[in-house]
């Protein structure tokens, strides 16, 4: 039917609302809603009756495609348009396939809206029937039945629902598997499919061009100006003549990106193949900013505030070395402090020192802290090697020298201490950022520090410490979503062998209290104290434990409930002394760099002259 031009152009805009009847399958309903132009465009701008009729016609195909993508290849789709509001002489409703629909819409009085109802019916789901491969190798090979390896690589099997995304991703899976076996030029084409309505099945055929097995050829490096290419070449985990495997190539790329020197690392094939069936690779680097200035700060009611600034050079000698200079003011108030102090240090880290995954760390540090336990002014120099032993284990060895002046209870002494700390850590939490909250796994750290005090002759002692924490996600009990509700447990134990309490310098003794051990008690507030004071003596044994429940709330907030307990003894055997218990709660605000933590804790058995409560602010969880 033809309409005069002025009639069409002068047609009043038609307002409408769209309702989609649920199919009973949530994911499918979401796909149908996303595919409907009637639904997505109804609020954009006014539409003419003819344009609305066009949208209705187009939605049949769009909705059918959405249903077919979920394996429903014989659906029925009904779209009904009904009048809303005032009654008139028009028919009350019109089917979306009726050829009279445009004329009917045009006759609707101005200002009267219509209701569009979409009712999809899924029908019986189709399943995969025959799945075959055609090898396009130039030898005329026809369709072949899948072997076990190919079937596993595809990830689809006969009888499963013929979901379009599964069928398409299966080809990508097979292509990835072929490349992983060294077929760098492997291609799996878009699958061909045949519907079998009689059996409600879908037969699928994949065309495969595997190509030859190749090895890695020459690797070219570009984009480096400050970084030495020779260091990067030594650092790489892939080499010419290695089997071409995309997973190993990507792992090598991520390893170099993780050096902290580059803002971007890209690796690409550089065809054609060489005569020896080798695939050249090109690696392009974009170096990041070299210098960085950061501001640090924190607060707790026991240690008070600490604030300062650090300057970092992340590639100072061109081999990914990192130099960091830090200056902090400490003791800004706080119940465990007697005045302002400072912490000034320079850190140099050299990666791959001597061998890969072995880093050299050197620190020169000056400290002044005026604690109630003791007043200390010290200069420390230490150098050590940290070696990664596999994915979860790390070992460390250090040499350390310290010259210090300590005043405790009016007695001032100078100490010179040399020590050789040995340590090992195990971490199965799978987190690269140590301040990200763990939701599973175990962390264990242990150290043995033989030390010698060079004053009034030479005395020897050994400090042994170990701590472990584990994390349990309550999703395993079916009562929360993954990562939302977590129970964290921590245990700490320490012992000094070879000397009694007053035979070792005060800063080498063991203490408890504070966010690192027993919250609710001020820093060094758990353990023996000098008579009539709140000055801690320290001890030669210590143990502490914590249980914490962490709950994510909404997107960026969370909360925590916790209980800590610990004690300090004067013998070398742990689990001696007066057990102190604290409990509290906290809130969390999750940022891209880690959670901001605010905890309040109270002592359940406060000692004489102990604080009544403690507040802790920081970045990251306490453990």
**What pLDDT is stored for residue 115 in this prediction?**
92
Question: Measured between alpha carbons, how far is 449 from 24 in angstroms, rounded to an integer?
Answer: 65
Local confidence band at 128 (pLDDT 50, 70, 90 cut-offs): very high
Is the bond preceding 599 in cis, omega lying within 30 degrees of 0? no
At residue 257, φ and ψ (nearest 5 deg) are: -65, -30
Answer yes or no: is pLDDT of 532 > 70: yes
pLDDT tens-digit profile of 104-117?
988 888 878 899 99
pLDDT tens-digit profile of 149-200?
566 778 888 899 999 999 999 999 999 999 999 999 999 999 999 999 999 9
pTM of the model: 0.74
Q: Could you tell me which of 516, 517, 614, 615 has the C-alpha nearest to residue 565?
A: 517
Q: Are 320 and 261 in contact (CB under 8 A)?
A: yes
Question: And the tokens for 69?
Answer: 């993508």
pLDDT tens-digit profile of 29-80?
999 999 999 999 988 767 889 999 999 999 999 999 999 999 999 999 999 9
Domains and CATH numbers, the chain: 16-121 (no CATH), 127-209 (3.10.20.310), 215-287 (3.10.20.310), 407-619 (2.40.160.50)
Q: Is the backbone of residue 525 left (phi > 0), alpha (psi -120 to 50) or beta?
A: alpha
User: CA distances (Å), 330 to each of 296, 306, 598, 600, in order?
Assistant: 11, 4, 19, 21
Question: Measured between alpha carbons, how far is 205 from 191 in angstroms, rounded to an integer?
Answer: 6
**What pLDDT is stored for residue 6 in this prediction?**
34
């Amino acid at each position: 039917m033809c309409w005069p031009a002025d009639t069409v152009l002068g047609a009043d805009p038609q307002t409408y609302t769209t309702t989609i009847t649920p199919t009973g399958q949530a994911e499918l309903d979401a796909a149908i809603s996303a595919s409907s132009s009637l639904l997505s465009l109804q609020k954009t701008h006014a539409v003419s009756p003819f344009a609305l009729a066009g949208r209705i016609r187009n939605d049949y195909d769009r909705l059918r495609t959405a249903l077919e993508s979920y394996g429903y290849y014989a659906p029925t789709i009904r779209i009904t348009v009904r009048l809303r509001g005032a009654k008139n002489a028009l028919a009350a409703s019109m089917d979306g396939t009726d050829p009279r629909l445009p004329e009917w819409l045009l006759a609707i009085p101005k200002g009267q809206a219509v209701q569009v109802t979409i009712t999809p019916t899924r029908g019986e789901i189709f399943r995969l029937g025959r799945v075959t491969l055609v090898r396009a190798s130039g030898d005329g090979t026809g369709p072949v039945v899948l072997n076990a390896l190919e079937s596993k690589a595809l990830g689809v099997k006969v009888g499963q629902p013929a979901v379009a995304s599964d069928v398409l991703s299966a080809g990508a899976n097979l292509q990835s598997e072929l490349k992983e076996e060294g077929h760098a030029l492997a291609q799996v084409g878009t699958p061909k499919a045949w519907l079998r309505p009689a059996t409600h099945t879908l037969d699928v055929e994949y065309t495969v061009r595997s190509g030859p097995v190749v090895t890695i050829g020459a690797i070219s490096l570009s984009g480096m100006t400050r970084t030495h290419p020779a260091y990067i070449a030594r650092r790489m985990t892939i080499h010419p003549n290695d089997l071409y495997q995309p997973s190993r190539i990507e792992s090598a790329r991520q390893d170099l990106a993780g050096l902290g020197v580059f803002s971007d690392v890209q690796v690409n094939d550089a065809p054609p193949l060489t005569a020896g069936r080798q695939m050249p690779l090109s690696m392009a680097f974009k170096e990041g900013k070299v210098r960085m200035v950061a501001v640090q700060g924190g607060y707790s009611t026991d240690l008070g505030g600490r604030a300062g600034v650090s300057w970092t050079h992340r590639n100072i000698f061109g081999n990914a070395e990192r130099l960091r200079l830090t200056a902090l003011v400490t003791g800004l108030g706080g119940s465990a402090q007697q005045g302002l102090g400072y912490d000034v240090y320079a850190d140099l880290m050299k990666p791959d020192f001597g061998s890969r995954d072995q880093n050299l760390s050197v620190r020169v540090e000056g400290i002044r802290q005026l604690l109630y336990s003791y007043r200390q002014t010290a200069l420390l120099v230490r150098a050590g090697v940290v070696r990664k032993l596999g994915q979860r284990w790390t070992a460390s060895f250090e040499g350390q020298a310290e010259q210090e002046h300590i005043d405790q209870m009016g007695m001032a002494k100078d100490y010179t201490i040399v020590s050789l700390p040995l340590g090992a850590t195990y971490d199965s939490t799978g987190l690269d950022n140590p301040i990200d909250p763990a939701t599973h796994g175990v962390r264990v750290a242990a150290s043995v520090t033989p030390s010698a005090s060079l004053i009034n002759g030479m005395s020897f002692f050994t400090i042994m410490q170990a701590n472990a924490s584990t994390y349990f996600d309550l999703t395993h009990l079916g009562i929360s979503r993954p990562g939302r509700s977590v129970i964290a447990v921590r245990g700490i134990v320490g012992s000094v062998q070879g000397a009694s309490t007053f035979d070792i310098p005060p800063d080498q003794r063991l203490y408890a209290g504070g966010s690192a051990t027993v919250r609710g008690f001020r820093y060094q507030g758990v353990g023996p104290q000098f008579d009539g004071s709140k000055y801690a003596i320290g001890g030669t044994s210590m143990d502490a434990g914590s249980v914490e429940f962490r709950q994510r709330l909404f997107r960026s907030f969370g909360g925590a409930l916790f209980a800590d307990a610990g004690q300090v003894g004067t013998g070398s055997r742990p689990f001696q002394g007066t057990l102190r218990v604290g409990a509290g709660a906290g809130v969390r605000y999750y940022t891209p760099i880690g959670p901001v933590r605010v905890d309040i804790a109270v002592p359940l058995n406060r000692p004489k002259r102990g604080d009544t409560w403690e507040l802790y602010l920081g970045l990251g969880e306490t453990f």
